[in-house]
Structure 1
Amino acid sequence: MTEKIILVLIPIIGVAMAAGVVYWQSWRDGVLPNQKPRKK
């Protein structure tokens, strides 16, 4: 039972991490609204 739960959680965690990284990069680059564009 635990193995099935782990097999289900692994792809969910992977997608969540990927979405988090994309969101963080967008926020860092100033793409998201309500953020002042920052030049390096």
Structure 2
Amino acid sequence: MFGPYFQGRACGDACISSKGKLTPDCNNPGTLGNFLKRLY
């Protein structure tokens, strides 16, 4: 959905390191903010 702006590797690493407690929700942009690349 976010294409090249989404840092999937960082998101997966965060999920694994938190043992599933940190799970981003695509319907809640607040949980994805740390895994999106800036456009500028």
The TM-score bracket by the shorter chain reads 0.3 to 0.5
Q: Which one has the bigger helix percentage? A: 1
- TM-score by length of structure 2 reads 0.32
Higher relative contact order (CA 8 A, sep 6+): 2
Provide TM-score, normalisation by structure 1.
0.32
Question: Max radius of gyration: which structure?
Answer: 1
